[in-house]
């Protein structure tokens, strides 16, 4: 079955190379064949790992081959080298043999000696070949090759944090993402959910300071097969994302608007924090993502959520309607690069050129949806100042009736002197996020 797992991983990598998103390609190939939990986990690890470590693997391939082989051979070599370099549980002989068999199976048996030679040369190297291959490069490129990031990101982090923190951040983003859950207090309790998972052979651990937060250290099956999923006892949501709704602090009976709501993680959390009493208006312009939100709402049994397909950057439907408004804007996602394996390879400057004006437009328009004396929370999963601090400073300069309202003194996350909160993955061991609570005057 392990060769089947590698074959499916190769199919997913081929689709990703053709432009598909990594999570979509992985989901598609896993749907093609029923696999034991261990093989399913192996496919997932091979796909996400090979995409995440792509630059490192390609540096080795080009160094050993002199030039890049054809794409499908390159992908087989990525899979083989990923196993040799990053997966201690797979014996070297198995990684080499399966890669040779895989290249034969896809009709490229003429490259079998090349695949065999590259992988065996790697296993026989007395020291890490990557060190010799990257030694002549400038520091930014050395680190980019060794940690598998584009120079653009590494250079920005070096300038902002210095070398040691840059390395810590790179290392954190290269770890497999943790699985955090958010229990639904309207359907269960932490004690009951922990007991339900324990009965199924899983350990759940509470997350400090987050009353609904639990971490699942190991998951060997589809999430929908885990205890309580179908019954709406929990959702998947990283702890950093859970903090955003706590900063918003929605109250029962209020009208709360989530302006960029789909697929609904924060929307449903808001409704849960309100005890499902009040009105939660969920807006998004993408119908397919709103359907996912509706599914989540219904599974969790939440009745306070109204879904509205509209463009929050221009819509005037809810002017001065919201006691509280959440604006979790589309962003570069540079705080969640471990979770989206392929997003690190999308050019950042080009994305910012598109996203920053959109964020400003959303902020300006959605701020009109807040009642006098109401609250707006602006949030991103980005580490880039252009999407965070600079965006807020410009908004406040243009809208003098607004001001930053720092979190209360007993809020577990520490705010900067300016009043906003930034979560740094390598410092706080969670997704990177920026969040700030704004208060409107009269």
405 burial type by CB count under 10 A (0-12 exposed, 13-18 middle, 19+ buried)? middle
226, two tokens: 């885990």
Token reading at 316: 């005037």
Instruction: Please name the residues in contact with 32: beta carbons below 8 A apart, sequence gap of 6 or more.
Output: 8, 11
* Nearest Cα residue to 205 out of 240, 181, 241, 238: 181
Q: What is the rounded CA–CA span in Å between residue 272 and residue 295?
A: 16
Which CA distances in Å does 61 have to 65, 67, 78, 194?
Answer: 6, 8, 8, 45
Q: Which two tokens stand for residue 436?
A: 């700030």
| Residue that the structure tokens 């807040």 belong to | 370
Which member of 170, 260, 331, 381 is catalytic?
A: 381
Distance in angstroms (rounded) separating the CA atoms of residues 335 and 341: 12
Residue 262 pairs with which residues in a beta bridge?
A: none
Q: Which residue has the tokens 């704004």?
A: 438
Contact 57, 78 (CB under 8 A): yes
Q: Provide the 8-state DSSP code for 279.
A: E
Cα distances from 310 to residues 29, 281, 288, 318, 326, in angstroms, run 33, 11, 13, 11, 15
Contact 9, 43 (CB under 8 A): yes
Beta strand 370-380 pairing with 421-423: unpaired
Query: Length of the chain in residues, anyone?
Result: 442
C-alpha to C-alpha distance for 209 and 256, rounded to whole angstroms: 24
- Cα 345 to chain center, whole Å? 14
Alpha-carbon distance 384 to 121, whole Å?
A: 40
Count other Cβ atoms within 10 Å, centred on residue 279: 17
Active-site residue, 381 included: yes
What is the β-pairing status of strands 279-284 and 305-309?
parallel
Encoded tokens for 286: 């993408």
- Residue 346 CB contacts under 8 Å (≥ 6 apart), including other chains: none
Which residues does the annotation mark as catalytic? 381
């Amino acid at each position: 079955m392990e060769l089947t797992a590698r074959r499916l991983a190769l199919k997913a990598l081929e689709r990703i190379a053709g432009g598909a998103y990594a999570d979509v390609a992985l989901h598609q190939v896993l749907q093609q064949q029923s696999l034991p939990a261990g093989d399913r986990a192996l496919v997932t690890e091979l796909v996400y790992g090979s995409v995440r470590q792509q630059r490192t693997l390609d540096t080795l391939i080009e160094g050993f081959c002199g030039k890049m082989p054809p794409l499908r051979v390159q992908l087989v070599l990525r899979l083989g080298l990923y196993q040799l370099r990053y997966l201690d549980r797979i014996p070297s002989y198995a990684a080499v043999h399966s890669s040779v068999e895989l290249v034969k199976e896809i009709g490229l048996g003429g490259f079998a000696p090349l695949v065999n030679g590259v992988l065996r040369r790697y296993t026989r190297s007395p020291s890490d070949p990557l060190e010799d291959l990257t030694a002549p490069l400038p520091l930014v490129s050395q680190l980019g090759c060794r940690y598998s990031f584009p120079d653009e990101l590494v250079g920005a982090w070096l300038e902002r944090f210095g070398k040691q923190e840059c390395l810590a951040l790179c290392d954190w983003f290269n770890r497999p993402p943790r699985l955090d859950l958010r229990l639904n207090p309207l359907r269960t309790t932490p004690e009951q959910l922990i007991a339900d998972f324990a009965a199924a052979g899983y350990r759940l651990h509470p997350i400090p300071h987050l009353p609904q937060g639990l971490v699942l250290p190991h998951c060997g099956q589809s999430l929908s097969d885990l205890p309580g999923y179908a019954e709406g006892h929990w959702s998947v949501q990283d702890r950093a994302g859970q903090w955003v709704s706590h900063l918003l602090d929605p109250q029962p009976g209020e009208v709360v608007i989530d302006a960029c709501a789909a697929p609904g993680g924060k929307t449903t959390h808001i409704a849960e924090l309100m005890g499902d009493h009040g009105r939660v208006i969920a807006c998004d312009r993408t119908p397919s993502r709103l359907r996912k939100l509706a599914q989540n709402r219904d599974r969790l049994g939440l009745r306070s959520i109204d879904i509205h397909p509209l463009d929050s950057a221009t819509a005037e439907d809810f002017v001065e309607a919201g006691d509280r408004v959440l604006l979790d804007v589309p962003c570069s996602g540079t705080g969640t690069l471990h979770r989206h394996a392929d997003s690190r390879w999308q050019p950042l400057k080009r994305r910012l050129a598109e996203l920053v004006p959109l964020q400003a437009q959303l902020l300006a328009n959605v701020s009109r949806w807040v009642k006098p004396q109401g609250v707006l929370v602006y949030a991103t999963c980005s580490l880039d100042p252009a999407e965070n601090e600079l965006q807020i400073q410009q908004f406040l300069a243009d809208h003098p009736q607004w001001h930053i309202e720092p979190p209360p003194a007993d809020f577990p996350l520490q705010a900067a002197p300016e009043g906003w909160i930034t979560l740094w993955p390598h410092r706080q061991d969670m997704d990177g996020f920026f969040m700030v609570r704004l208060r409107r005057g009269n």
